[in-house]
Amino acid sequence: AAHIGLFLKTFVEGERPWLDEQRFMELMSLGQAMPGPTSTQMATAMGITRAGALGGLVSFWLFDWVGFAVQLSTGAAVYYLDLGALDTYKMVVLGAGPAAISLVFLAARMLGNKACGDDPLRISLALFTCFVALLLPREHMRWAAFAFPGLILFGGLVTALDARRPSRRAAYEKALSPPTGKGLLKQIGIPRPAGLLLAMVAVGLFPFAWVARDLACGGFGGAGSRQLAVFSSLYWMGFSIYGGGQVVLPMLESEFTRGRCEPGETGSFPPLDAETFGFGLALAQSLPGPLFNLSAFLGAAVAGVGGGIVGFLGLFGPGILLIYALMPFWESLRRHEWVRCALVGMNASAVGLVFQACVTLWAKYCTNGAEAAVCILAMAMHKRFAPGDTKPLALRRAWPALVIFSCATLCLVLFFLDLNGAYGDWCHVAKYGDFATQPNRTEACPSAS
pLDDT, one tens digit per residue, over 249-265 is 777 877 787 665 554 45
Considering only residues 357 and 447, tell me which one the structure prediction assigns the higher pLDDT: 357
pLDDT at 128 over 90: yes
What integer pLDDT is reported at residue 72 of this predicted model? 92
What integer pLDDT is reported at residue 125 of this predicted model? 93
46 CB-contact burial (10 Å; exposed 0-12 / middle 13-18 / buried 19+): buried
What integer is the mean pLDDT of 368-392? 81
Q: Rounded to the nearest 5°, which phi and psi values hold at 421?
A: -90, 180
Considering only residues 208 and 83, tell me which one the structure prediction assigns the higher pLDDT: 208
Euclidean distance between CA atoms 163 and 156, whole angstroms: 11
Tell me the three state secondary structure of residue 291: helix
What integer pLDDT is reported at residue 429 of this predicted model? 57
**Helix axes 245-258 and 223-240, enclosed angle (nearest 10):** 150
What integer pLDDT is reported at residue 220 of this predicted model? 46
What integer pLDDT is reported at residue 87 of this predicted model? 57
Region of poorest pLDDT, from 115-119, 158-162, 328-332, 409-413: 328-332
DSSP string computed for 213-257: HHHHHHHS-SHHHHHHHHHHHHHHHHHH--S-HHHHHHHHHHHHH
What integer pLDDT is reported at residue 124 of this predicted model? 94
* Mean of pLDDT over the chain: 76
Burial 380-392 (b: 16+ CB within 10 A, else e): ebbeeeeeeeeee
What integer pLDDT is reported at residue 436 of this predicted model? 42
Answer yes or no: are the C-beta atoms of 365 and 358 closer than 8 Å.
no
Euclidean distance between CA atoms 37 and 293, whole angstroms: 10
What would the pLDDT profile of 295-338 be if each residue is shown by its tens digit? 899 888 888 888 889 999 988 988 899 888 888 887 777 778 88
Burial 237-265 (b: 16+ CB within 10 A, else e): bbbbbbbbbbbbbbbbbbbbbebbbeeee
- Tell me the whole-structure pTM to 2 decimals: 0.69
Percent share of the chain, pLDDT over 90: 6
* Contacts of 199 by beta carbon, 8 Å cutoff, 6+ apart: 321, 322, 325, 326
